[in-house]
Structure 1
Amino acid sequence: MPASGAVTRNTLRQQIADALRDEILAGRLQPGEEFTVKQIADQYGVSATPVREAMVDLSAQGLLDSDQHKGFRVHQFSVDDYRGMVEARSLIVDGVFRRIEERGEGQLPFGLTGPALVSVRRRAEEAARAARGGDLDILIGYDLRFWRELGALIANRYIADFLHRLRVQAWVFAVPFLRHDRDMLAWLWGGHEDLVDAITLGDVPAALSVIDAYNTHALRWADRLSAG
């Protein structure tokens, strides 16, 4: 019985963390917005313990800030923070792909069309369609899944988890700006399918070119924000 109770509580903790993360990504919880454990517990109709644990988890992921006297607030990332995220993921992904290229001999996942890559392609198609249509909520979900599944194919889980965390943070920063940008459609990157095509063909230089364009696009958007 104790083990079952622990599983139930951990599951609830994860469900609450996922729900709050979705609220932040959707922009319903704004950067700097404050709330208490009790408010969230009342909102979801649960006890305070799993809520507090969920908030601690999100704080460890950099999405919430803890205030001993006021509760928690949504972390407010700066444009410089965003540039740092882009630079970090650029360096890491570039290193992963170049290591695959150096190894040669058709290392996974290049040149393969297994079930995992088929799933990644499906995510890519949906993400690209959402980007073209300007559907931000759908794009965020598929974009995160796309990069998460792709990361699981080309890198060890520690790298994949770190990159996923960076991308969540980048979306948390970007969402409030994009939702109020009349030119939003021009700044939604949709090159997912091009990247999958390069991977399927085993063309590492082409894959690196797509990723370089992706990061350049993100930095141009950051420059636009800085310029007001």
Structure 2
Amino acid sequence: MPGNGPVTRSTLRQQIADALRDEVLAGRLRPGRAFTVKEIAEQYGVSATPVREALVNLSAQGILEADQHRGFRVPDYCIADFRNMIEARTLVTDGMFQALTSGHPAFRTPVEDPLTTAALTTVRRRGEEAQRAATAGDLTILIGYDLRFWRELSALFGNPYLGDFLHRLRVQSWVCAVQHLLRLPDLRGRLWAGHTDLVDALARRETETARSVVAAANAHSLALLEQLTNG
């Protein structure tokens, strides 16, 4: 396992978790794929303890499922699961955007807090990277930037519990979506690429516009997955 400092159990745990997470999000570990702690420990040449901790952590995030007495497996989410994930995400983002109309300190005007504007600029740059990846059809790169985009955007509201919950939902959504999107030989022009529209709406404090952008993104993703599911 690569690393620059002394290798501790927590370092191994995080490296193993990151590697397996990337494998699932890239679609290289397919839905239903099962494995044991022993199998992964042998694969990476490490002891069972950090592997077990990594797998339990990924299970808590919804990236893996614990299969009682048999180890862990990649969840096989269906289109109904994806609809429910979108509904849950919408409830969270609607609450975030409602903060704009209730004077949430995270979105004070630039005169009151120039740091807000600077933070939005950083998030917008992340959105630009996500858009480029979406336009190019590079799913793996898109997922990475999309997750960072929403992670940094939700951090502006100063509530880590909200940010963690939304991040979990978005990771699960990608785990579900990847298994379907990989059926397409070419993803160029098929993936949603409106991240900067959302940031611009929030920068203008336009709550309804922001909601409309997210609703359009959700509708686009759901329609594409339904199309793929129906063959």
Q: TM-score, normalised by structure 2?
A: 0.87
- Partner of 1:189, secondary structure, is coil
Query: What amino acid is the match of 1:116?
Result: A
Aligned positions of 1:24-63 closer than 5 A: 24-63=24-63
Change beyond 3 A, Cα 1:186–1:111 = farther
- For the residues of structure 1 that align with 2:208 and 2:152, how far apart are their CA atoms? 21
- For the residues of structure 2 that align with 1:190 and 1:167, how far apart are their CA atoms? 16
Unaligned ranges ≥5, structure 1: 1-6
- For the residues of structure 2 that align with 1:110 and 1:181, how far apart are their CA atoms? 43
Partner in structure 2 of residue 125 of structure 1:
128
Percentage of matched positions with identical amino acids: 60
Partner in structure 2 of residue 109 of structure 1:
107
Change beyond 3 A, Cα 1:14–1:215 = same
The answer on 1:158 being equivalent to 2:161 is yes
Verify the 8 A CA contact 1:83 1:222 in the aligned structure 2: no
Partner in structure 2 of residue 4 of structure 1:
none
The answer on 1:134 being equivalent to 2:137 is yes
Query: What amino acid is the match of 1:161?
Result: D
- Partner of 1:129, secondary structure, is helix
Change beyond 3 A, Cα 1:43–1:110 = farther
Root-mean-square deviation over aligned CA pairs: 2.0
Superposed CA offset, 1:19-76 (max 9, x none): 1111100111111011111221122221110001111111122222223443211111
- For the residues of structure 2 that align with 1:192 and 1:111, how far apart are their CA atoms? 21
- For the residues of structure 2 that align with 1:137 and 1:164, how far apart are their CA atoms? 17
- Partner of 1:66, secondary structure, is strand
Partner in structure 1 of residue 73 of structure 2:
73
- For the residues of structure 1 that align with 2:100 and 2:118, how far apart are their CA atoms? 20
Deviation at 1:95, TM superposition (A): 2.1
Change beyond 3 A, Cα 1:181–1:127 = same
- Partner of 1:56, secondary structure, is helix
- For the residues of structure 1 that align with 2:78 and 2:137, how far apart are their CA atoms? 24
Superposed CA offset, 1:158-215 (max 9, x none): 1111110011111111112112214633431110011111122222222122112112
Q: 1:167 aligns with which of 162, 165, 170?
A: 170
The answer on 1:187 being equivalent to 2:190 is yes
Partner in structure 2 of residue 144 of structure 1:
147
Query: What amino acid is the match of 2:141?
Result: I
Farther-moved stretch of structure 1 (124-133 vs 205-214): 205-214
Q: TM-score, normalised by structure 1?
A: 0.88
Verify the 8 A CA contact 1:89 1:166 in the aligned structure 2: yes
Partner in structure 1 of residue 4 of structure 2:
none
Unaligned ranges ≥5, structure 2: 1-6, 111-115
Partner in structure 2 of residue 84 of structure 1:
84
Deviation at 1:83, TM superposition (A): 0.5
Farther-moved stretch of structure 1 (162-171 vs 194-203): 194-203
Change beyond 3 A, Cα 1:203–1:110 = farther
